[in-house]
Amino acid sequence: MDKQLHLNNIADSGYTIIGNVFNRAEVAAIIAEIEKADTTNPTFRKTDDLFAIRQFLKELPSVMPLIFTTKFKQLVKELFGDDYFVVKSIYFDKPEKSNWFVAYHQDLTISVDKRTDTPGFGPWTVKHNQFAVQPPLSILGQNFTIRIHLDDTDETNGALKVIPGSHAKGIYRPETINWDEERETVCKVAAGGVMVMRSLLLHASNRSTGSSKRRVVHIEFSKEHLPDGLDWAEKE
């Protein structure tokens, strides 16, 4: 891995793509473990367009050693150091010919264990007994996400579209995007590769137009210890 290249990509563009982090057998083992899951749990969402598992690592702890391989842990350490820990995880399966799409947005909320009146935190939401809140920009700006791709992903099956550099512009409302200045990039990632991205990077996903699945494990990391007794809901 060209460490400096990826560090530069993350700093300048807000994301980078790293191939061959997981080999074919490792990808197959992760998929096999997911297929054993009991989909009747409330944290599972299954429709014709989407299968998602929220609190993924908590729901499927057996997948932890399959994901946190020596190579994966070394990647995190080389790019971000030793201080980061997992704060959120979701599994997404966009089936073939899915009509599900996601408009441009930033990941502005974090999952926490309770609601408090902590200054700088808000607005609040709650879904499936899970509290979410928008924290100060100082927290969002240093958080990052790693998306592990279990299938080849391109523009035909819902690969992420991003606006490079948007992570450095604070809160950036999609309705204010100036397309005369900004450019859109489709992030193609091969199975076994990962996309590393800053939380404030504007990103979106189109409907699928082909006949292939798009399965992704989404893991968010932070090094921030929250104030006033507030804690991360999924801290690992």
Close Cβ partners of 45 (under 8 Å, ≥ 6 residues apart):
51, 52, 53, 54
Q: Residue 192 domain-assigned?
A: yes
- Please name the residue that has the structure tokens 């200045």: 181
In a domain, 116, yes or no: no
Q: Is residue 131 part of a domain?
A: no
Residue 38 lies in a domain: yes
Residue 52 domain flag: yes
Residue 112 is which amino acid?
Answer: V
Per-residue model confidence (pLDDT) at position 86: 97
Upstream peptide bond of 61 is cis (omega within 30 degrees of 0): no
Number of domains in the chain: 1
Range of the domain at 82: 3-105+138-222
pTM equals: 0.93
DSSP per-residue string spanning 40-74? TSTTEEE-SS-EEEETHHHH-GGGHHHHS-HHHHH
Is residue 55 left, alpha or beta, with left meaning phi > 0 and alpha meaning psi from -120 to 50? left
According to the model, what pLDDT value does residue 98 have?
58
Query: Is residue 234 in a domain?
Result: no
Query: Is residue 61 one of the residues assigned to a domain?
Result: yes
Mean pLDDT in runs of 10 for the chain (236 residues)?
95 98 98 84 60 89 97 97 96 72 93 94 88 96 97 92 97 93 96 98 88 91 94 91
Query: 80: domain CATH number?
Result: 2.60.120.620
